[in-house]
Amino acid sequence: MTLLLETLKPYLLPLIRVLVVFLGISLIVAYLVYAERKILAHLQVRLGPMRVGPHGLLQPIADGLKLLLKEDIMPAGADKGVFLLAPVISVIAAFTAFSLIPFAPNFYITDVNVGLLFLIGISSLGILGIILGGWASNSHYPLLGALRSTAQLVSYEVALGFALVSALLLAGTLSMVAIVEAQQRQGVWFVFLQPVAFFILFVAAIAETNRNPFDLPEAESELVAGFHTEYSGFRFSLYFLAEYAAMILVSSIAVTLFLGGWLRPFARVRALDFLDFTPVAVLVLAAAWCFRECFRYPATREWRWQRLLLLGLGVGALGISAGLLLPARFLPGGGEGLPAFPALTAIQGVFWFMSKVFLFLFGFIWFRGTFPRYRFDQLMSLGWHFMIPVAIANVIFCSLAIVLSRQMGWGLPATLWLGTAATLLVAALLRREKA
C-alpha cells in the first residue's frame, strides 16, 4: 500500500491540481454566465434572474440541468462525425490551455519554457471547432458564421501575437511563471511599460472570444445564432462552455503578461501590507449582504429554504474568513517557520489573480452592454489597417527602446514611454490617413 502510494505520488498531485482547475473553471463559467446576466440586467434597468434560489443564485445549476436534459438534434444533411466532434475540439482546446496558467506562485499544473507559444497554438485550435461546427451543420447561417469567425479570428490572432511579443521582450522568457517573476523583479507591471500592447491585447482578446462589439460569428440579429445555430442541448452547452472558458483564458493571459499575475497591487510597499486582508474583507462583506438579504425575504414558509440558503452562505463565508485569520501559533507544533496567518498567505496569489481576471471579465460584460456591433468589413479594416500596423510599430519601437536603454544606459521605463509615444504617433497618423 505504501509502495503503491509512493509510486503514484508524482502523478497524484498533478492529477489533483488538474481536477481542481477543471472543476474550478467549470464552476466559474457557470457563475460567470450568472454574473453576466445580473450585470447586464442592472445596466439595463431590470433585475435579471431572481426566481431560482435567492437572487437567482441557483440559476446556473438549473440552466445546466436544462441543457443536459434537452434533446440532441442533428440536421439531416449534417456531416455526422465532424458535427459531433466540433464542439468537443473547442472545449478541449479551451481547457487544455489552462494547464499553463500560473494562478499562484505554487499553483499551476505545469510550467514549460515555451509556455506562451504553446498557449497561442492551443487557443488557435479552438477556432477549428467553430469552423468545423459551422461547416458540418450544412446550413446557411452557420456557414456564414463560420466564414466570419475564420477571417476574424485569423486576422486578430496576428495583432494578438504582436502584443504578446512586446511583453516577451520585457520579460525575456516564454515561461508563464517566469514572466510574472520578471514583473516582480522589475517591480512594475508590464501594463505601465507597454500600455499600447496591453490595449491591443485587450481588443484582440475581445475579438478572439467573439464578444461584443466583435460578436459577428454569432450575431443574433443577423445570423440567428451563427455557427452554433443547429446545435442544441449538451453540444450547444459545450460551445457555450468553451466560449466562456476562452473568455477566462484570454483574461488570464492578459493578467499574467501585463497585470502582474498573482502579484498584489503595490506588492513592494510595506505600508500597504494591510491589503493582504482584502480577501477577509470581501468575505465579510459578502456575509453581511447574505444576512441582510436573508432578513429582507418574507419570513414565511415558502421562502424558508431561500432564507436558509442565504443564512448558510453567510455563515460559510464568515467561517472561511475566520479560517483565513487563524494565526500560525494556534496550529499543532506552534506553526514553526509559517507566516503569521498561513491560510491567508496561501490564498493571496489565487485571490489577486482571480480578482484581476474578474476585472477583465467585467470589462467584457460592460462592453457587451454598451456597444453596437461592428460590420464584417469594418472589423477587417480595423484589424488589418489599424491594429496590426500599430502592433508592429509597437514591437519595433519597444525593441528599439530596450536596445537604446542598454547601450546608452538610459532608464528603461522612460525609454519605453518614448517608444510608446512614437507608437501613438503612428496610430494617430493611421487614423488621419483613414479619415
Partner 1 sequence: MAQPQDISTTVLGADEIILNMGPQHPATHGVLRVKLKLDGEKVIGSECIIGYLHRGVEKIGENRSYPQFAPYVDRTDYVAAVSNGLGYCEAVERLLGVEAPPRARWVRTILTELQRIASHLLWLGTHALDIGAITPVFYTFREREEILKIFEKYCGARLTTHAFRIGGLQYETYDGFEEDVKKFCRDFEEKVDEYGELLTENRIWVERTRNVGILTAQDAIDLGVTGPVLRGSGVRWDIRKAFPYAAYAQFEFDIPIGERGDTYDRYLVRMEEMRQARRIILQAVDSIPEGPILARVGKVIKPPPGEVYHSIEAPKGELGYYIVSDGTIQPYRLRIRPPSFINLEAFDKMVRGHLVADVVAIIGTLDIVLGEVDR
The contact set with partner 1 (CB under 8 A) reads 40, 43-46, 140-141, 144, 147-148, 212-213, 215-216, 219-224, 368-378
Closer CB to partner 1, 139 or 186, in the complex: 139
Looking at the Cβ atoms of 70 and 368, the one nearer to partner 1 is 368
Nearer to partner 1, 187 or 372 (CB): 372
Q: Is the peptide bond before 213 cis (omega within 30 degrees of 0)?
A: yes
For residues 76 and 223, give the distance between their C-alpha atoms in angstroms, rounded to a whole number. Answer: 20
The grid coordinates listed for 365 are: 460584460
How many angstroms separate the CA atoms of 145 and 379, rounded?
Answer: 14
Pairwise CA distance, residues 134 & 371, whole Å: 26
By beta-carbon proximity to partner 1, the closer residue of 75 and 369 is 369
- CB-nearer residue toward partner 1: 1 or 435: 435
Q: Cβ of residue 356: shortest distance to partner 1, in angstroms?
A: 26
Smallest gap from Cβ 365 to partner 1, in A, equals 11
The span from the CA of 424 to the CA of 391, in Å, is 10
Q: Which three cell numbers stand for residue 86?
A: 466540433
**Residue number with CB closer to partner 1 (44 or 106):** 44
Q: How far is the CB of 364 from partner 1 (least distance, A)?
A: 14
Is residue 352 within 8 A of residue 264, CB to CB? The reply is yes
Q: How many residues can be counted in the chain?
A: 435
| Nearest-approach distance from CB 223 to partner 1, in angstroms | 7
Nearer Cβ to partner 1 (215/293): 215
- Residue 94: closest CA among 205, 241, 313, 294: 241
Our CB check for partner 1 shows the closer of 56 and 226 to be 226
Give 120-150 as a 3 state SS string. Answer: HHHHHHHHHHHHHHHHHCCCHHHHHHHHHHH
- Spatial separation of the C-alpha atoms in residues 129 and 227, rounded to whole Å: 10
Output the smallest distance, CB 35 to partner 1, in A: 16
CB distance 419 to 401 below 8 Å: yes
The H-assigned helical ranges of 209-232 are 220-223
**What CA–CA distance (Å, rounded) separates 243 from 223?**
17
**For residue 209, what is the DSSP state?**
T
**CA-wise closest residue to 348 among 263, 251, 261:** 263
By beta-carbon proximity to partner 1, the closer residue of 56 and 349 is 56
Shortest approach of partner 1 to residue 40 CB, angstroms? Answer: 7
User: How far is it, in rounded angstroms, from Cα 427 to Cα 435?
Assistant: 13
Burial profile 231-250: b = 16 or more Cβ within 10 angstroms, e = fewer: beeebbbbbbbbbbbbbbbb
Q: What are phi and psi of 127, to 5 degrees?
A: -60, -35
- Find the shortest distance in angstroms from Cβ 75 to partner 1: 15
| Residue 227 beta carbon to partner 1: minimum distance, rounded to whole angstroms | 14
Whole-angstrom CA distances from 97 to 23, 100, 348 are 15, 6, 23
- Provide, rounded to whole angstroms, the least separation between the CB of residue 143 and partner 1: 8
Q: How far is the CB of 379 from partner 1 (least distance, A)?
A: 10
Reduced to 3 states, what is the DSSP secondary structure of residue 202? helix
As measured in angstroms, the least distance from the Cβ of 41 to partner 1 is 9
Among residues 146, 129, 153, 125, which one has the least CA distance to residue 227? 146
Residue with smaller CB distance to partner 1, 333 or 372: 372
Q: Which is nearer to partner 1, 24 or 75 (CB)?
A: 75
